């Protein structure tokens, strides 16, 4: 007789098309009696679920009940999934293996790591930088709405103060995390960004927003700094404080490193 190997399906899921693809994979896996793990990553999954009709909501809940293990990134996401499905998922926090060999901070250097899209807050960051009363240099790492970003940079007269890196590899990212003064992610919506965890590991101050699971890691003025999404003036003010007070940030980055 032929022995069939026991297989495990482990799917990383977000929303929209990703949900329906993983749903089809789950159905096939169950047909062959394979074990299944669904790992939720979508930062906008709550909005997706709340905006769907009766049938899609039922399919989402069925998926959560039908897989062997449903995994989320944080306690906040765990509570949400429990509230819509009555299933308590497994929490597995994102993990990074990154630590710079030589930390040498350059004065007044700002780092952005992420997609050039509205959800990441890049346009608010550019406007906030244009309000800073001190010299600075902004390193933009990522891509997306490149033309729109470049137009705003020109409009705000920031060309001489910005370096566009495109997407950066791990080594270049480590160098930037070890040399910049602050990492800024003024996002409107997130899950648990790897960028923030990597920054905490590399002892660079983080300025971000209290969205998604971020407040589980970043407590304002304790393990980083928080501003409300879209608040450009507040973002500029916090950014100026961080750049002007490097000595006052030591306890914050140490606390962040311990949390990481």
- Write the DSSP assignment of 213-254 as a string of letters: TGGGT--BTTTBEE--TT-HHHHHHHHHHHHH-GGGGHHHHH
For the question of whether the overall pTM of this predicted structure is more than 0.85, the answer is no
Confidence (pLDDT) at 3: 58
Please report, for the chain, how many H helices and E strands are present, in that order.
10, 10
What CA–CA distance (Å, rounded) separates 154 from 149?
A: 9
Comparing CA positions, the residue from 122, 157, 129 lying closest to residue 143 is 122
pLDDT for 247 equals 81
Q: Do 129 and 163 fall into the same domain?
A: yes
Residues 72-79: contacts with CB under 8 Å, at least 24 apart: 72/40, 73/40, 73/41, 73/191, 73/192, 73/213, 74/191, 74/192, 74/212, 74/213, 74/216, 75/213, 75/216, 76/212, 76/213, 76/215, 76/216, 77/40, 77/191, 77/213
Whether residue 250 is found in the same domain as residue 140: yes
Say which DSSP state 113 is in.
E
Contact status, residue 195 vs residue 185, Cβ threshold 8 Å: yes
Domain shared by 40 and 133, yes or no: no
Where among 43, 58, 91 does a domain terminate?
91
Rounded CA separation 14/42 (Å)? 4
Same domain as 238, residue 128? yes
CB 116 within 8 A of CB 146: yes
Q: What is the pLDDT along the chain (260 residues), one digit of tens a residue?
A: 455 677 899 999 999 999 999 999 999 999 999 999 999 987 889 999 999 999 999 999 999 999 999 999 889 899 999 999 999 999 998 878 777 668 889 999 999 999 999 999 999 999 999 999 999 999 999 999 999 999 999 999 999 999 999 999 988 999 999 999 999 999 999 988 999 999 999 999 999 999 988 999 999 999 999 999 999 999 999 999 999 988 889 999 999 988 86
Give me the sheet containing 109-113, strands edge to edge. Answer: 162-166, 137-141, 109-113, 182-185, 206-208, 225-226
* Contact of 207 with 238, CB cutoff 8 Å: yes
Range of the domain at 58: 8-91
Is 100 a member of any domain?
Answer: no
Strand bridging mode 35-40 / 69-72: parallel
Nearest to 183 by CA among 238, 260, 109: 109
Q: What is the pLDDT of residue 4?
A: 62
How many Å apart are CA 156 and CA 28, to the nearest integer?
53
| Structural domain contains residue 158 | yes
As for how many domains the chain has, the answer is 2
Q: Is residue 99 part of a domain?
A: no
State whether 84 and 113 are in the same domain: no
């Amino acid at each position: 007789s032929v022995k069939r190997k026991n297989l495990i399906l482990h799917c990383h899921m977000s929303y929209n098309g990703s949900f329906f693809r993983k749903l089809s994979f789950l159905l096939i896996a169950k047909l062959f009696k394979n074990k299944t793990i669904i790992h939720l990553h979508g930062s906008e999954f709550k909005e997706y679920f709340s905006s769907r009709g009766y049938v899609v909501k039922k399919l989402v809940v069925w998926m959560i009940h039908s897989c062997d293990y449903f995994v989320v990134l944080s306690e906040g996401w765990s509570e949400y999934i429990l509230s819509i499905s009555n299933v308590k998922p497994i929490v597995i926090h994102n993990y990074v293996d990154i630590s710079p060999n030589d930390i040498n901070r350059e004065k007044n250097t700002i780092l952005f790591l992420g997609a050039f899209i509205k959800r990441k807050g890049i346009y608010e960051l550019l406007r906030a930088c244009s309000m800073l009363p001190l010299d600075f240099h902004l390193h933009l790492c990522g891509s997306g709405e490149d033309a729109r970003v470049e137009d705003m940079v020109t409009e705000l007269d920031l060309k001489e103060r910005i370096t566009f890196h495109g997407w950066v590899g791990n080594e270049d990212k480590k160098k930037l995390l070890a040399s910049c003064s602050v990492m800024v992610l003024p996002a409107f919506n997130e899950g648990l960004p790897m960028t923030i965890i990597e920054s905490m590991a590399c002892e660079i101050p983080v300025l971000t927003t209290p969205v998604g699971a971020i407040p589980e890691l970043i407590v304002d003025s304790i393990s980083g700094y928080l501003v409300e999404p879209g608040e450009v003036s507040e973002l500029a003010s916090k950014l100026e404080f961080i750049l002007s007070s490097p000595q006052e940030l030591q306890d914050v980055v140490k606390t962040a490193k311990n949390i990481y």
